[in-house]
Structure 1
Amino acid sequence: MEKFLFEESHFFSQEFTALLRHSVFIMPNWKWIILLIAIVLGVILRPAFQFIIKEIKSHNPWIKRFPNSFTAYFFRLEVERPLAWIVVALCWFAVDDAIELTGKFELYYEHVLKAFLAIHVIRLVYHAVDALSYVLANIAAKTESTMDDQLVPFASKILKVLVVVLGVLIVLQSFGLNVMSLLAGLGLGGLALALAAQDTAANLFGSVTILIDNPCKIGDWVKVKDVEGTVEEIGFRSTRIRTFYNSVITIPNATMAKETIDNMGVRPARRIRQVLGLVYETSPELIEEFCSRVRYHILQDEKVVKDTVVVSFNNFNASTLDVLVNFHLQVYTGLEELEHQQRLFLDILKIAAEMKVDFAYPTSTVYYRGAQG
């Protein structure tokens, strides 16, 4: 017979002591009562622990002194909730040791507590990966290379997957499962799993190829098959491209690795080419003067590559006299290109209006031969 924790106490009557020592479901009543009180107190006190941890965070001098450190980023995240639950779980373990739970119930109780503790430790480590990602992203932002800017989020996702997988294995181990035997058993179905996941594996290798070969980076304007837009994210499975009509198209990385990628963002200069159709009534002298004025105006723009400017009458079309306008702009974004192009085109229209140069548009002339008298 197990000894009652307060058996020597004079506060309890013999009858009440006997009731407390009476066993229900393999344990004495007094152990059930203490365990229930401990669980209820843990749930009630958890917000208080959370508040204390939050206060410690807010008054931590390290965060104020080193705002860009790992510790500062870590404590800026919502870590107080998992930390509070970890404290509560450790208290419940202490109660288990104090009252010495009985037999298999103690085993099940400890398994559940270990799993509960492991879940919140995983949450804490998950936040730590986020904090590490912030620190590495800040370091990467200070370097000239753009490859590390893409590797940081990629590595962060890999670490998070490893944290979750290892955490699940630890939880399974806490329940007494032989994880190594389980992994060996999974190896028997490895071939079937590989066949089922071949697309996923192809996309993963595609993402590695993109990061190593670096055909494009986040922020580049690219064309992939019939998709055109700005690269927003290069992930595990796919690359997300923001189109110019503001939708997001997701392309599997296996496709990105195989297709031809036209990276418009790495052009040292962007070509602007336009053919201006003048009416046939325009005199040669007016065409020559118009070309000279347009050429001179384009050359004044600081973004124009001077030796690429061509403004010349170059074709007798069916219904127009064609003037070729061709030049390159040293700009880095699509929006900047469009803004410069619009301004120059509007200036060309103003020059044409001042010189009374008319642009041709599709017309039809009908010749009618009336009946002869």
Structure 2
Amino acid sequence: MDYTWEPLLANFRQQLDYLLSYGHLHRLVLSIVILAAFWLLRKRFADYTVYLLAKMTSNERVDTQSYLSTACRRPAMNIMAMLGLYFAAKNYLPLGYEPLLNRILSSFIVVFLTQGLHGLIKIYGDDTAELERLLGASVDKILIPFFSKVIRFLIVALAFVVVASNWGYDVNGFIAGLGLGGLAFALAAKDMLANIFSGIVIITDKPFGIGDWIKTPDVEGTIEDINFRSTKIRTFEQALVTVPNASLINAPIVNFTKRKLRRITFNLNVSYDTPSQALQQCVSRIQTMLVDHPAIDNKMIFVKFDTFGDNSLTIFLYFFTTTIVWEEYLNIKQEVNFLIMQILEEEGVEIAIPRTRNYFSSPLEVIRSGGEKTAQPEKTEEA
């Protein structure tokens, strides 16, 4: 079959004549000027965009302007450069390319806006102090990074859907596929998701925080870290225990750090030889000493002669320190113990020492060195 090159050569001559024509050169030069103008103005446009955003938020703080500049300056410059490319190409290319250029422009504008918003949310998510100042309320330092990641993911997903729709793709099937995939993922990772939701409950409900001393049926120690999967507890043996949040949220938790006072209670055993008047004086002086002590809470102090024990008279003491710090608590307890010893010494009251009394049915005979027998009482006492 004979093949003729005449149509191809004719089309090539037509294109060459167009490229060498005055009209083509005029449009090419104008497109280059348009592109150069937008390129030169992109920095000024970015500066004005940051200034306008700062005005819209009614915030002229240096930190805020710095964050806006970091997050929005580059996307604003990219949008300006993209507009230059759009208008230059629209001026140069035939009218048939205009729908394609419009789709390209709108898609890139969505991408650059997403880039700016994504960066701004990340910056504020990493700086909780600035976010608290902006919102005028306290925020959780653990919860904010999580929600920051979730919001950024949703923004990127929404931008993808918008761009895909702009190019004529049916996103309904994609969204349905995400739903089925999410369901399958949820069934496969239900334990992980249970830990994540339990972590959210712990962070929002705040039964404990980092540094708190807690006790559960399985572990006791100080909270070192809380994340969305597990909680790390440092025991008093300095071992690090990692507890899944799902297990921790369903267990009874005692938070010792949340208490306002710390209890001291014990029994003080004194000798049966103590006169009642001396015992009463000791109880009264110990009560007065605790009431006057600056580190003892005055709302609940009990110093009572409680029981007649097997080997002693028992004084019951029950009171609270005003501090919950362990070292301070031990220092106060030690000081109170010394003051109680001083009171007992001044009143001549002895601490009871456990002893045994032995009884014999007949008198004992003791043989002295000369062979003489001496009868002893029926009862003897051995300390």
TM-score class, shorter-chain normalisation, is 0.5 to 0.7
**2:111 — aligned with what?**
115
Change over 3 Å in CA distance of 1:203–1:349 after alignment to 2: same
Q: Tell me by how many angstroms 1:187 deviates.
A: 2.9
Q: Which amino acid aligns with 1:216?
A: P
Structure 2: where are the runs of 5+ without partners? 1-14, 355-368, 370-383
Q: Tell me by how many angstroms 1:179 deviates.
A: 3.8
Q: Which amino acid aligns with 1:115?
A: V
Whether 1:228 aligns to 2:224 is no
Alpha-carbon deviations, 1:273-295, whole Å to 9, x = none? 235577x7x95257665554333
**1:339 — aligned with what?**
328
User: Residues of 1 paired with 2:332 and 2:64: CA distance?
Assistant: 50
Alpha-carbon deviations, 1:88-125, whole Å to 9, x = none? 11112212222217779969975567534422222224
Pairing partner for 2:132 from 113, 124, 134? 134
Whether 1:168 aligns to 2:157 is yes
Q: Tell me by how many angstroms 1:206 deviates.
A: 2.6
SS in 1 for 2:285: helix
Q: Which amino acid aligns with 2:116?
A: H
Change over 3 Å in CA distance of 1:126–1:29 after alignment to 2: same
**1:309 — aligned with what?**
302
Root-mean-square deviation over aligned CA pairs: 5.6
Change over 3 Å in CA distance of 1:359–1:171 after alignment to 2: farther
Which of 1 and 2 has higher RCO (CA within 8 Å, sep 6+)? Answer: 1
**2:194 — aligned with what?**
202
Contact between 2:86 and 2:101, CA under 8 Å: does it hold in 1? no
Q: Which amino acid aligns with 1:229?
A: T
Contact between 1:311 and 1:326, CA under 8 Å: does it hold in 2? no
Pairing partner for 1:216 from 198, 207, 211? 207
Pairing partner for 2:175 from 158, 171, 183? 183
Pairing partner for 2:78 from 78, 86, 89? 89
SS in 1 for 2:266: strand
User: Residues of 2 paired with 1:161 and 1:300: CA distance?
Assistant: 56
User: Residues of 2 paired with 1:338 and 1:315: CA distance?
Assistant: 34
User: Residues of 1 paired with 2:336 and 2:293: CA distance?
Assistant: 11
User: Residues of 1 paired with 2:322 and 2:88: CA distance?
Assistant: 77
Pairing partner for 1:257 from 249, 260, 264? 249
Change over 3 Å in CA distance of 1:341–1:305 after alignment to 2: farther
Change over 3 Å in CA distance of 1:215–1:160 after alignment to 2: closer
> TM-score, normalised on structure 2?
0.58
Q: Tell me by how many angstroms 1:87 deviates.
A: 1.6
Q: Which amino acid aligns with 1:187?
A: G
Q: Tell me by how many angstroms 1:208 deviates.
A: 5.6
How many pairs are equivalent? 320
User: Residues of 2 paired with 1:340 and 1:137: CA distance?
Assistant: 39
Change over 3 Å in CA distance of 1:339–1:117 after alignment to 2: same
Change over 3 Å in CA distance of 1:59–1:315 after alignment to 2: farther
User: Residues of 1 paired with 2:131 and 2:240: CA distance?
Assistant: 25
SS in 1 for 2:67: coil
Change over 3 Å in CA distance of 1:277–1:53 after alignment to 2: farther
Mapping of residues 1-373 of structure 1, within 5 Å: 62-63=58-59, 75=64, 78-100=67-89, 114-127=110-123, 133-134=131-132, 138-139=136-137, 154=143, 157-158=146-147, 160-171=149-160, 173-174=162-163, 176=167, 178-207=170-199, 209-210=201-202, 214=205, 216-218=207-209, 221-225=213-217, 226-229=219-222, 236-239=228-231, 251-265=243-257, 267=259, 269-275=261-267, 284-285=274-275, 290-301=282-293, 303-310=296-303, 312=305, 324-329=316-321, 334-335=324-325, 339-340=328-329, 342-353=331-342, 356=345
Contact between 2:224 and 2:233, CA under 8 Å: does it hold in 1? yes
Q: Tell me by how many angstroms 1:193 deviates.
A: 0.7
Q: Tell me by how many angstroms 1:38 deviates.
A: 8.9
Change over 3 Å in CA distance of 1:32–1:61 after alignment to 2: closer
> TM-score, normalised on structure 1?
0.59
Contact between 1:273 and 1:325, CA under 8 Å: does it hold in 2? yes
User: Residues of 2 paired with 1:240 and 1:361: CA distance?
Assistant: 46
Change over 3 Å in CA distance of 1:86–1:54 after alignment to 2: closer
Alpha-carbon deviations, 1:289-316, whole Å to 9, x = none? 5554333211223542444423557586
Contact between 1:294 and 1:311, CA under 8 Å: does it hold in 2? no
Q: Tell me by how many angstroms 1:259 deviates.
A: 0.5
